[in-house]
Amino acid sequence: MLELDGQRLSLAQVAAVARGEERLALATAARARVEQSRRVVEKIVAEGRTVYGVNTGFGKLSDVHIE
């Protein structure tokens, strides 16, 4: 079981996951960082702010608002 911690991930590990040779688990600290990031995004949306890639498209679609 490969634990994703947001710090170390080799190309060989990515390949093993892609080939189905390795399973994944999310480290507790990494899960906490993901949850904090979600709270930030939810706050941005609740405030009605426009932020590239959060509630807009990317690249040429950056002026397209996404709900």
Residues annotated as part of the active site? 52
Q: Which residues contact 24 (CB under 8 A, 6 or more apart)?
A: 1, 2, 3, 4, 17
Judged on CB neighbours under 10 Å (0-12, 13-18, 19+), 61 is: exposed
